[in-house]
């Protein structure tokens, strides 16, 4: 619960420190005294939007700090997830608002994001103000109210899990189908590349080999002549070999008188052998070379075919091989995508069946919930002096959305014999306030939020209806901490604790102060609410008697 609230330099509040207990607290005071500033301060520490205009004139910043105690396990778990240490189940939330427009949040003194404040705040306090009546006036919020009352999120969670899976598959499927036209166009080009290059069936290094073979085929006569002629020169009589052997004979004749030629003789012998071997190899090569015009024609045709395909796809021979492999891989990938589309289509159909079944289960649960909801809210409305109000829940089935297949509208008939119509068309301000309180009352039984704040719940209400609202708020406060800003004495007297918001001038500045009222202070304030400034003795006595009566009844 909210244990303490400290405010500094927030609008007209220079400093205020307010302590709360586990009870029903009311804030009263004249219009414009600053009661709404208190609510703004609480909203600030809960991570709601703030404005630099909230900073007191002449100050650099405003700050609001709230101490919460007796934290629930849910809040403790969330703090643990945020790695925030928390002793004795207490947490302090702080929000500083700078005059330059920035703001800083802190949790237990550690800097925290506004979203972190908001996430924790949602588990600590629920605030109902006049603007919340828009929930009743806007049918799109009615489904949320009904689900909150139901209290069993399992149906909605199961549905939403499957629905999100369906959405994810639908998005992927839509993307693939959107690209399908491009893939069809692209596949035509790829198939042409595969067919043309595949028909050619090029091999790595083939172009260089082909070019060399063609050169040899076209110059076969020259090659044969050259090889044969060279072999003839080396091997002919009185050729190179014979001349070398003649040289050897001459040297042999002088070996006995000039032995220094021994090494040279060895070299000449080796040379003769090498020359004869070369002559034989040249002859063998010449015999292997054939003049084959048909082969030359085949080589020319193959070389030309490769050149044509290279020009067709604007690449060299090596790039042609890469292009072929890339085209095959891309075509395989496209086939995989087509298979994926078929797979997703089947999965989508399966999920659609599952989602539809879960939507019907959720819808049936809501129908049952609506019956109990109408009973409970009608019971609360009768207590709040609206016995003739007939509440119905109009539930219609439509297309599947993240919230299911239902649209829900609350209809009421304020008087006997009238056909129920949308709340926005027939409810007055006072009726809206009481209907909203009835909703808050029945929903409060289902959630675990420890503190409820009602900002001017009494709008458009007076007399007996106001008294019933006060009784209901007091009843709620027996299981929850309740804070209420009110202008009505019938509500104020029901409180366990009353604070008066008072505005006065101090050193040419407007200052708002918050006073905790004792019994006599409450008598004075409630009498003022009843009869205005300078209440009569009768008003004071009436106020005193009302406070005593409430105290005795509880």
Residue 445: the pLDDT is 67
Q: Is 371 exposed, middle or buried (0-12, 13-18, 19+ CB in 10 A)?
A: exposed
Element holding 359 (H helix, E strand) = helix 317-383
Cβ–Cβ under 8 Å, residues 227 and 283: yes
Are 313 and 331 in a shared domain? yes
Question: Which residues lie below 8 Å from residue 247, measured CB to CB, with a gap of 6+?
Answer: 268
- The answer to the question of residue 276 being in a domain is yes
What whole-number distance in Å separates Cα of residue 338 and Cα of residue 328? 15
| CA pair distance 314, 329, nearest whole angstrom | 20
Residue 114 Cα to chain centre, angstroms = 17
| Phi–psi pair at 64, nearest 5 degrees | -135, 130
Question: Which ranges in 384-460 belong to alpha helices (H)?
Answer: 423-426, 429-444
Do residues 366 and 395 touch, judged by C-beta distance below 8 A? yes
Give a yes or no: residue 120 inside a domain: yes
Domain-embedded: residue 403: no
Please tell me the predicted confidence (pLDDT) of residue 134: 62
Beta strands in 318-461 (DSSP E): 390-401, 404-413, 421-422, 451-455
- Do residues 68 and 195 share a domain? no
360 inside domain: no
Q: State which of 283, 308, 335 marks the end of a domain.
A: 335
Q: Are residues 489 and 553 in the same domain?
A: no
488 and 547 together in one domain: no
Q: Do 487 and 533 fall within a single domain?
A: no
* Residue 115, domain member (yes or no): yes
Q: How many Cα atoms are found within 13 Å in the side-chain-facing hemisphere of 202?
A: 31
Written as one string, the DSSP assignment of 198-261 is HHH---TTHHHHHHHHHHHHHTHHHHHHHHHHHHHHHHSTTSHHHHHHHHHHHHHHTTTT-GGG
- Is there a single domain that holds both residue 489 and residue 536? no
In this structure, is residue 20 part of a structural domain? yes
pLDDT of residue 315: 87
d(C-alpha 488, C-alpha 470), whole Å: 9
The verdict on 323 and 213 lying in the same domain is yes
Q: Give domain status of residue 527, yes or no.
A: yes
- Core vs surface per residue 89-120: b (16+ CB within 10 A) or e: eebbbbbbbbbeeebebbbbeeebebebbebb
Q: What is the pLDDT of residue 129?
A: 67
**Are both 122 and 217 inside the same structural domain?**
no
Give the 3-state secondary structure percentages of the chain, helix then strand then coil, rounded to 5: 60, 20, 20
Which of 268, 302, 335 lies at the terminal end of a domain, its last residue? Answer: 335
CA-based nearest residue to 202, from 315, 334, 293: 315
Domain count, the chain: 3
The answer to whether residues 290 and 223 belong to one domain is yes
* Model pLDDT, residue 310: 87
493 and 547 Cβ atoms separated by less than 8 Å? yes
CA-to-CA dists, residue 236 to 228, 242, 273, 312, 426, angstroms? 11, 8, 14, 54, 130
Phi-psi region of 271 (alpha: psi -120 to 50; beta: other; left: phi over 0): alpha
One domain for residues 85 and 212: no
Q: Give domain status of residue 140, yes or no.
A: no
The enclosing domain of 12 has a CATH number of 3.40.50.300
8 A C-beta contact, residue 71 and residue 88: no
- Regarding whether 84 and 100 lie in a shared domain, the answer is yes
Last residue of a domain, one of 275, 303, 335: 335
| 110/5 Cα distance (integer angstroms) | 18
Coil, strand or helix: which one is 66?
strand
Are residues 100 and 34 part of one domain? yes
Q: What is the mean pLDDT for each group of 10 consecutive residues in the chain (554 residues)?
A: 94 91 91 80 92 90 94 91 89 94 92 93 83 68 87 92 94 83 80 86 87 81 82 78 85 83 88 87 82 81 86 88 87 79 91 95 95 91 84 92 92 82 73 80 77 82 84 89 91 94 80 90 91 84 90 78
Residue 394: per-residue pLDDT: 92
Residue 537 domain boundaries? 518-554
The distance of Cα 32 from the centroid of its chain, to the nearest Å, equals 42
């Amino acid at each position: 619960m909210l244990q303490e609230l400290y405010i500094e330099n927030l609008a007209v509040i220079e400093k205020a420190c307010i302590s709360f207990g586990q009870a029903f607290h009311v804030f009263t005071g004249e219009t414009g005294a600053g009661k709404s500033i208190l609510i703004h301060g609480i909203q600030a520490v809960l991570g709601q939007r703030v404005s630099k205009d909230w900073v007191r004139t002449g100050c650099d910043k405003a700050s609001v700090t709230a101490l919460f105690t007796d934290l629930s396990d849910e809040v403790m778990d969330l703090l643990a997830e945020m790695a925030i240490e928390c002793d004795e189940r207490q947490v302090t939330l702080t929000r500083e608002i700078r005059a330059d427009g920035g703001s800083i949040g802190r949790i237990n003194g550690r800097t925290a994001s506004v979203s972190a404040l908001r996430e924790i705040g949602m588990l600590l306090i629920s605030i109902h103000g006049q603007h919340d009546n828009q929930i009743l006036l806007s049918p799109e919020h009615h489904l949320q109210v009904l689900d909150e009352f139901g209290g069993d999120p399992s149906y909605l969670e199961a549905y939403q899990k499957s629905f999100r899976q369906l959405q994810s598959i639908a998005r992927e499927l839509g993307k693939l189908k959107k690209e399908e036209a491009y893939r069809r166009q692209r596949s035509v080009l790829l198939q042409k590349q595969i067919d043309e290059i595949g028909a050619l069936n090029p091999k790595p290094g083939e172009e260089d080999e082909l070019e060399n073979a063609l050169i040899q085929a076209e110059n076969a006569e020259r090659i044969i002549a050259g090889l044969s002629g060279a072999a003839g020169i080396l091997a002919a009589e009185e050729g190179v070999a014979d001349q070398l052997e003649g040289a050897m004979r001459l040297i042999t004749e002088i070996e006995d008188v000039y032995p220094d030629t021994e090494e040279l003789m060895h070299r000449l012998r080796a040379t003769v052998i090498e020359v004869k071997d070369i002559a034989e190899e040249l002859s063998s090569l010449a015999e292997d070379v054939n003049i084959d015009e048909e082969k030359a024609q085949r080589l020319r045709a193959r070389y030309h075919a490769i050149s044509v395909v290279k020009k067709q796809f604007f690449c060299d021979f090596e790039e042609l091989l890469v292009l072929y492999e890339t085209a095959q891989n891309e075509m395989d990938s496209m086939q995989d995508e087509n298979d994926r589309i078929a797979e997703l289509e089947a999965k989508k159909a399966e999920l659609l069946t599952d989602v539809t079944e879960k939507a019907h289960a959720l819808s049936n649960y809501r129908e049952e919930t609506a019956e109990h909801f109408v009973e409970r809210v009608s019971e609360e409305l009768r207590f709040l002096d609206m016995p003739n109000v007939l509440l119905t829940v109009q539930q219609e089935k439509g297309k599947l959305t993240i919230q299911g297949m239902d649209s829900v509208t609350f209809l009421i008939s304020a008087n006997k014999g009238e056909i129920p119509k949308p709340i926005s068309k027939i409810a007055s301000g006072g009726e809206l306030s009481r209907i909203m309180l009835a909703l808050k009352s029945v929903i409060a039984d289902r959630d675990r939020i420890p503190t409820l704040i009602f900002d001017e719940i009494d709008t458009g209400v007076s007399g007996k209806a106001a008294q019933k609202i006060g009784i209901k708020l007091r009843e709620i406060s027996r299981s929850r901490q309740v804070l209420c800003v009110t202008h009505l004495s019938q509500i104020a007297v029901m409180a366990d604790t009353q604070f008066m918001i008072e505005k006065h001038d101090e050193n040419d500045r407007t200052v708002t102060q918050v006073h905790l009222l004792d019994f006599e202070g409450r008598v004075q304030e409630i009498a003022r609410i009843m009869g205005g400034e300078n209440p009569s003795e009768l008003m004071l006595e009436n106020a005193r008697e009302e406070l005593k009566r409430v105290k005795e009844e509880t």
